[in-house]
Structure 1
Amino acid sequence: MNWLIIKNDFLRNKIINLTLLLFMMFSACLAVLSVVMAVQTFTAISELYATAQPPHFLQMHKGEIQQEEITEFMSGYEGLTDGQVVTMVNVYGESLTIVGREGTYDLADCRLDIGLVKQNEAKDLLLNAEHEKVSLAKGEVGMPILLKGMYGMEIGDQVILSSNNITQKFVIAEFVLDAQMNSTMTSSTRILLNDEDFAGLEGQIGENEYLIEGYFSDTKEAANFQTAYENAGLPQNGQAVTYTIIFMLSALTDIVTVFVLLLVSLLLILVAFICVRYTIMAALEEDIGEIGTMKAIGLSFSNIRDLYLHKYRALAVVGVSAGTILAFVLSGIFTKHISTTFGNVRLSLFTILLALVVGGLVFLLINVYCARVLKKIKKVTVVDALVRGKGFENEQGGSKDGLHRAKRLPINWQLSLREVFYHFKQWVIVFAVVMIAFMMMMVPVNLLNTFEAPEFITYMGSSLEDILIEVENGEKLESNYARVKQVLVNDATVKNYYEYGRVRVQTTDADGELMNLHIDRGDNSGNELKYLQGRAPEGEKEIAISYLNASKIGKDAGETMVLSFIDKQQEFVISGVYQDVTSGGFTAKSHFDFLGVPAEKYTFSVHLQDPEQVEAKAQEWSGILGTGVTVDPMEEFIDQTLGGVSRQLRTIVLATVLMGACLAMLIIVLFLKLRLAKDGSAIAILKALGFSERDIRVQYLIKIGAVSLIGILAGILFTDILGEKIVNAALSLAGLGIKQVELMNNPIIEYILCPWGLLALILLVTWIVLGSIRKYTIVKYINE
């Protein structure tokens, strides 16, 4: 009997049941797809790391090294399981010319440090897309997937290396996955050569840089090893990073992408459940006569509820199953960037089982939710259902026409606004969907605006200036510093500049363990940064520390800390805690000069008299200062550092905006079809009273437009209030050096283009759907 009832109901209410089935499928698909994407992201990264074996501790060093000293130190360090020193030959981008199908170009505009390497034996391997160790023949080259994405390189393109009067040609045979240099934020990238080719070039071109790598049974030991390594006076003319930072920086682009998609998925699931509720209520409204009849002949609430619940369970089984299958089909599209960046990863048994569990949870939620909505049947009386023909709209109080208060409004506006404001619950689905769709569009857009804004550099431990000059550590550090200063002092186009020297001192962490603290000292150090607590340092005995350092040391703004340097100790007051993602997020700022402490590097932030000369001056100074000094326009520095994240995020944001707009229009179409079916007799009566079809269409346009406008305004409000909180909660979980971001909105986009564009699309589809009102006539309803 249940099967016959379900079958007959499907045949009688095809549109409503199909709509409900689609929403259930939609909910299940999004929930399963979100989980599959999240698992695939971390699975792909983990599998790449398991094979590639990136170091738990990495110290980059330019200059001569004593291999015996490093080996002796590593062999005597307890907890170190393995270690190696990798040689990398650094070359400049202009030394590499690519001859491809789209033309010939060089890599002169690449800000990343480019190094030539040969394949390692067992650790820190460069892999192909299948996570296999890459082996190259003589004359072949493996280009990093990072450069492929930046320049559109293809297999078979020719690479011409010209340096130090040596010219050698290679063919791109493979695009390699580099587990530790997989992001523009790592500042370096590696090109793989055949062992014989590498041996022929080593010492003949470029400058050697060494990667000193350590491995531990417990990756947390890397921080302690770094302190011991630096205090031993071993080679450290370069950046030092640990496994955690390597992982986070490599995965940052995809983590941001997954975060945006998860946020969108959650919002879409919420919309889907709102629509499920509305669809069920529409079905119950349509069957109010039958429900009254069943109650009249003595059927209990549970019997009536089960008749509907069996149908919804059957729909849920089909919808969730179809949604789960669709999620697996679509997962390849949504995880394409992950596969490109971290290699091809097949769906594991764990992922499939977890997806099925999530599908089961969605099925359970649908059943529970449907049962809860169907409780409304209990409140329906036989008199309400059979005599009044209503039972779910319990109006309280007297009639509210309010027409006399709006005599100047046209009658269409009066009727429409009266229904919207006095019966808003009937239109709440439009309000909720439009509000959520607008948030789904604007939160990712604001996140993208923040990443692309020049002010984002303040989250990277730097002030916003025109040109950034970095003097690299090495034997010529002090002489290069003097040359840079001389150039800036003698150049009349310089408005002002600030210089910072990075020094290393010692302090203790929260556990009382000795740790090194890298401080950028300078008169302007710490100014213009984003502070979570306190402010920039002012007095000489004040220091500002990064968020990750504050967590490690266990101190907040206002507390004191003791620094040790040159056999003496000095107490400093922590003026503030700022956010930073550079140098692994472990930095500090102070105006104290630390006399006698040698600098590790120097940085100059330069402001020009004429901002239009930034590009020209950067090129001029770069040519004058030569090797060992990096000169970058700040805009270019930001673009190349965060460009990979921004480009991927821009694609996702565009898709999200289109999805949000399509979702709003789809729900409006479905809502109107159900609403028009329900309001058929009322429309026929309005026609009989003399209202034209155009009048009725205008009335519905006003209703939909008014509710949508309220929803958009609520969406703007919630975006501004909740958007930052959602993003900051995710950043806190990510463990980066950024905990709190002020989302930057574009007023033209948020308050003009998106709201009015979305409203125009909604009104357009509303007008199109309303073309069906011509079939509603009083004669038809009299005959029925």
Structure 2
Amino acid sequence: MNWFTLKNDFKTNQSINLALLLFMIFSVILAVSSMLMAVQTFTSIRALYETAQPPHFLQMHKGDLNEELVNKFMVDHEFVTYNQTVTMIDIYGENLTVIGEKGTYNLSDLRLDIGLVKQNKEKDLLLNSNHEIVNLHEGEIGIPVILKGMFPMNIGDKVILVHNDVKMEFVIKEFVLDSLMNSTMASSTRMLLSNTDFDKLYGKVGELEYLIQAYFTDKNDASAFRTAYENAGLPVNGQGVTYTMIFLLSAMTDIVTVFVLFLVSVLLIIVSFICVKFTIMAALEEEVREIGTMKAIGLLFSDIRDLYLNKYKVLALMGVTLGSIIAFISSNAVTNHISTTFGNGGLSFLAILLSLSVAFIVYLLIIHYCKKILKRIRNLSVVDALVSGKGFEKSTGAIKDGLHRSKKLPVNLLVAFREVFYKFKNWAVVFIVMLIVVLMIMVPVNLLNTFEAPDFITYMGSSLEDILIEVETGENLDLNYHKVKQLIEKDPSVENYHEYRTIRIKTTDSSNQLMNIDIDVGFNAGNELQYLTGGAPQGERELAISFINADEMGLETGSTVDLLMDGSKVKFTVSGVYQDVTSGGKTAKSKYDFTGIAPHKYSLSVNLIENAHVKNKAVEWASMLGAGITVDPMEEFIDQTLGGVSRQLKTIVFSIVIIGACLAMLITVLFLKLRLVKDLSETAVLKAIGFSGKDLNRQYMIKVGFASMLGILAGTIATGLLGEKIVNVALGTAGLGVKKVHLITNPLMQYLFVPLLLICLIILVTRLVMRTIKKYNIISII
């Protein structure tokens, strides 16, 4: 097809070609953006880690520390190539007040523990957004970048620290990147001070906590080293963390976002194929006589096909090129969270290369699909094209159902229903597109609802109560526990509570190597969690384990596991395998007492009486209990823990709703243009026998509306049947501790708002398109 013919076709079919081009562009934008974000997430984390050098193994410890003993163990161990012990001064949000342009506020709502640190010399470095080591002067402070998204902080704001009659004022100099604690899923965050200010505060405020860090030649040795470290009787008053856990916690927010973008891009590519098919069919139906003439004069199938294929090659090339350009231009918006969290590394060469590869694959898929559709030209006979006028659709014959005799249905309704019922294939595109649009919108919406729902706490290793109290590891562990228990037992607003103590005990993994396992022990332990198989422990010698532990230990429901206590093995039966995104997904639950084994943590979940104010009660208890004890309303605990994921996902979901609505409208326009071309003679006959333009408008609105409602209904059913499976496949491969999520729906959104929005938009564009019927000349058509 020469340039003149191509240009003439674009002028003649502007709306169809433009709509097709837009769909190709949207498909490529989302496909390229999802690949950009996926690759950039991992390359940015690796770039940050190369400079910051987080530890391969970290043991947090509160209390007395024999550093010489730790160093001796590190030096003697074959895996260790470098080690260091970092000292943190632990304070809490209520100790810090920020004074800035946007007002004065306290950080008391922050559930993360705050550790004041000074810059390390070689490894585990705190960096600025350009991956440069941050060095501060006296009176300056570096705030972790994750707090910037939670509070309205800016460079130059003042931060006032008040604790133990000590008051110091700092100026925010930098928002620092912390490769170790850069997620709200972590229990702590670090603020950077100058060496001078750190030395001034050392021993005068807060509580000391130590980060015992080890580095290996092979970071995969972390799990084996962790077991050896814990079994050596070294300090373990705190969470033990491996490199893999650090990486997954860092990437979790962006992994979820990438999954949603990828899902939508796949669905949009499917819709684009539908769009391509029906635009091609529209062109073929409109030019069926010309095609018949070309076949009659002896043109080969390949020559006729190429006349159309070349146009779609140009459109596909334009769509892929423009889509890729727009995706790269808008990459800052897509990767903003990545740049903020992991630094301004710019797009990596690998991200650009793989994204362009994805765009090229989309181009090849479009061309291949076009060729497949254009094969219909081969089967079109000259007689069908020029004499009988059958075109590309086979006649189904007359419909004999007696429905035409109905006197109860209005004529327009009767005519419309009969065509949709008996010629459903002609209206299947509306049905399929609406099904896909509903699926495309509702799966991300339901995923967002699930992350924001209070019930998600059951995927975090805890049952759902009003308030969660955690007694942190430290010298005053037992004293603080008794203080908490005494308080809640005397408070009349408490309806009931459950208490758990966390112990660490030896067992073996699937390779029969020693490992340690943390077990939450209590009467209610394991109840109301999300189990993949089995259920909560009932008998004393039963144990429920998280699915990551089950995989590492080679266990399943009904298996027996040996726990080493007092030098002997005690057999337990696995009652169930549950899901847990906390503590790296490595936890266990039991009702067995484990007498004589000292706990390293206590937690209590409290239910209040019906009219009690949860937030006020949590604030009251927190002020009464003091340091070393965290008190959080359960909903706030979930919000701060998963807040980064929810905020990012909310932005994506809003964009998807808009894209889905536009998608439904554009496809409807394209489809109606095809149907009007195909139904041209039938429409003229209906007008000739007395049907007005208004009648025809109503008939088409009923047809489109009915097919749309069927598609929305099917989409809603598909969301229920397939939505969870799609999400669970992604979560299961991510290794986040969750393998099977039950999506929580918003009934108003799923059954009212989305269907109503889509139906209204479809009816609106149908009315606009159907105005062209008034321009038909009956005599010229017949």
The Cα of 1:592 is off from its aligned counterpart by 0.9
Matched, 1:33 2:33: yes
Deviation per CA, 1:236-269, whole angstroms, max 9, x where unpaired? Answer: 1111111111111122111111111111111111
The Cα of 1:697 is off from its aligned counterpart by 1.4
Instruction: Look up the match of 2:773.
Output: 773
Instruction: Look up the match of 1:493.
Output: 493
Q: Partners of 1:309 and 1:108 in 2: how far apart?
A: 64
Deviation per CA, 1:48-73, whole angstroms, max 9, x where unpaired? Answer: 12221111111111122111111111
Distance 1:12 1:637, change over 3 A: closer
Deviation per CA, 1:330-363, whole angstroms, max 9, x where unpaired? Answer: 2222212221222123222222222222222222
The Cα of 1:126 is off from its aligned counterpart by 1.3
Q: How does 1:745-764 map to 2 (within 5 A)?
A: 745-764=745-764
Kindly indicate whether the alpha-carbon contact (under 8 Å) linking 1:55 and 1:243 is maintained by their aligned counterparts in 2: yes
Secondary structure of residue in 2 paired with 1:178: coil
Secondary structure of residue in 2 paired with 1:612: coil
Deviation per CA, 1:607-656, whole angstroms, max 9, x where unpaired? Answer: 22235232233233223322222222212212221222222222221221
Q: How does 1:242-253 map to 2 (within 5 A)?
A: 242-253=242-253
Moved more, 646-655 or 443-452: 646-655
Q: Partners of 2:402 and 2:63 in 1: how far apart?
A: 85
The Cα of 1:367 is off from its aligned counterpart by 1.8
The Cα of 1:773 is off from its aligned counterpart by 2.8
Deviation per CA, 1:557-582, whole angstroms, max 9, x where unpaired? Answer: 10111110222221111111111122
| Aligned CA-pair RMSD | 1.8
Secondary structure of residue in 2 paired with 1:184: coil
Instruction: Look up the match of 2:94.
Output: 94
The Cα of 1:676 is off from its aligned counterpart by 3.4
Distance 1:669 1:264, change over 3 A: same
Q: How does 1:147-162 map to 2 (within 5 A)?
A: 147-162=147-162
Kindly indicate whether the alpha-carbon contact (under 8 Å) linking 1:186 and 1:250 is maintained by their aligned counterparts in 2: no
Distance 1:95 1:769, change over 3 A: same
Q: Partners of 1:60 and 1:636 in 2: how far apart?
A: 25
Distance 1:686 1:396, change over 3 A: closer
The Cα of 1:5 is off from its aligned counterpart by 4.1
The Cα of 1:28 is off from its aligned counterpart by 2.9
Unpaired stretches in structure 1, ≥5 consecutive residues: none
Moved more, 91-100 or 340-349: 340-349
Matched, 1:174 2:146: no
Deviation per CA, 1:444-499, whole angstroms, max 9, x where unpaired? Answer: 11111111111111111111112211111222112222222222332333222221
The Cα of 1:277 is off from its aligned counterpart by 1.0
Instruction: Look up the match of 2:192.
Output: 192
Distance 1:198 1:284, change over 3 A: same
Deviation per CA, 1:677-736, whole angstroms, max 9, x where unpaired? Answer: 444444344333322222221111101100100110010010000000011000111011
Instruction: Look up the match of 2:602.
Output: 602
Q: Partners of 2:457 and 2:691 in 1: how far apart?
A: 61
The Cα of 1:402 is off from its aligned counterpart by 4.8
Q: How does 1:231-630 map to 2 (within 5 A)?
A: 231-400=231-400, 402-610=402-610, 612-630=612-630
Secondary structure of residue in 2 paired with 1:65: coil
Q: Partners of 2:631 and 2:64 in 1: how far apart?
A: 24
Kindly indicate whether the alpha-carbon contact (under 8 Å) linking 1:19 and 1:279 is maintained by their aligned counterparts in 2: no
Q: How does 1:595-744 map to 2 (within 5 A)?
A: 595-610=595-610, 612-744=612-744
Q: Partners of 1:347 and 1:737 in 2: how far apart?
A: 30
Q: Partners of 1:662 and 1:11 in 2: how far apart?
A: 23
Q: Partners of 1:619 and 1:750 in 2: how far apart?
A: 36
Matched, 1:215 2:215: yes
Q: Partners of 2:337 and 2:617 in 1: how far apart?
A: 37
Secondary structure of residue in 2 paired with 1:624: helix
Moved more, 276-285 or 319-328: 319-328
Unpaired stretches in structure 2, ≥5 consecutive residues: none
Kindly indicate whether the alpha-carbon contact (under 8 Å) linking 2:470 and 2:603 is maintained by their aligned counterparts in 1: yes
Q: Partners of 1:441 and 1:163 in 2: how far apart?
A: 49
Moved more, 641-650 or 522-531: 641-650
Q: How does 1:11-50 map to 2 (within 5 A)?
A: 11-50=11-50
Secondary structure of residue in 2 paired with 1:104: strand
Q: What residue identity is the alignment partner of 1:407?
A: K
Matched, 1:129 2:112: no
Kindly indicate whether the alpha-carbon contact (under 8 Å) linking 2:19 and 2:666 is maintained by their aligned counterparts in 1: no
Deviation per CA, 1:251-296, whole angstroms, max 9, x where unpaired? Answer: 2111111111111111111111110111111111111001101111
Kindly indicate whether the alpha-carbon contact (under 8 Å) linking 1:435 and 1:715 is maintained by their aligned counterparts in 2: yes
Distance 1:406 1:87, change over 3 A: farther
Aligned length: 782
The Cα of 1:228 is off from its aligned counterpart by 1.2
Q: Partners of 1:363 and 1:279 in 2: how far apart?
A: 17
Instruction: Look up the match of 1:116.
Output: 116
The Cα of 1:4 is off from its aligned counterpart by 4.8
Q: Partners of 2:276 and 2:67 in 1: how far apart?
A: 68
Kindly indicate whether the alpha-carbon contact (under 8 Å) linking 2:282 and 2:673 is maintained by their aligned counterparts in 1: no
Kindly indicate whether the alpha-carbon contact (under 8 Å) linking 1:2 and 1:310 is maintained by their aligned counterparts in 2: no
Kindly indicate whether the alpha-carbon contact (under 8 Å) linking 1:566 and 1:596 is maintained by their aligned counterparts in 2: no
Q: What residue identity is the alignment partner of 2:53?
A: Q
Kindly indicate whether the alpha-carbon contact (under 8 Å) linking 2:128 and 2:175 is maintained by their aligned counterparts in 1: yes
Q: What residue identity is the alignment partner of 1:722?
A: L
Q: Partners of 1:33 and 1:349 in 2: how far apart?
A: 15
Q: Partners of 2:665 and 2:683 in 1: how far apart?
A: 23
Secondary structure of residue in 2 paired with 1:160: strand
Q: What residue identity is the alignment partner of 2:179?
A: A
The Cα of 1:550 is off from its aligned counterpart by 0.4
Distance 1:545 1:146, change over 3 A: same
Distance 1:4 1:161, change over 3 A: same
Instruction: Look up the match of 1:52.
Output: 52
Moved more, 705-714 or 43-52: 43-52
Deviation per CA, 1:413-443, whole angstroms, max 9, x where unpaired? Answer: 1111222222222222211111111111110
Q: What residue identity is the alignment partner of 1:731?
A: L
Q: Partners of 2:402 and 2:662 in 1: how far apart?
A: 36
Deviation per CA, 1:20-61, whole angstroms, max 9, x where unpaired? Answer: 333333333332222122111222122112221111111111
Deviation per CA, 1:137-158, whole angstroms, max 9, x where unpaired? Answer: 2222111111110012111111
Instruction: Look up the match of 2:229.
Output: 229
The Cα of 1:7 is off from its aligned counterpart by 4.1
Secondary structure of residue in 2 paired with 1:220: helix
Secondary structure of residue in 1 paired with 2:511: coil
Q: What is the TM-score of this pair, normalised by structure 1? A: 0.97
Kindly indicate whether the alpha-carbon contact (under 8 Å) linking 1:90 and 1:207 is maintained by their aligned counterparts in 2: yes
Distance 1:83 1:13, change over 3 A: same
Distance 1:315 1:660, change over 3 A: closer
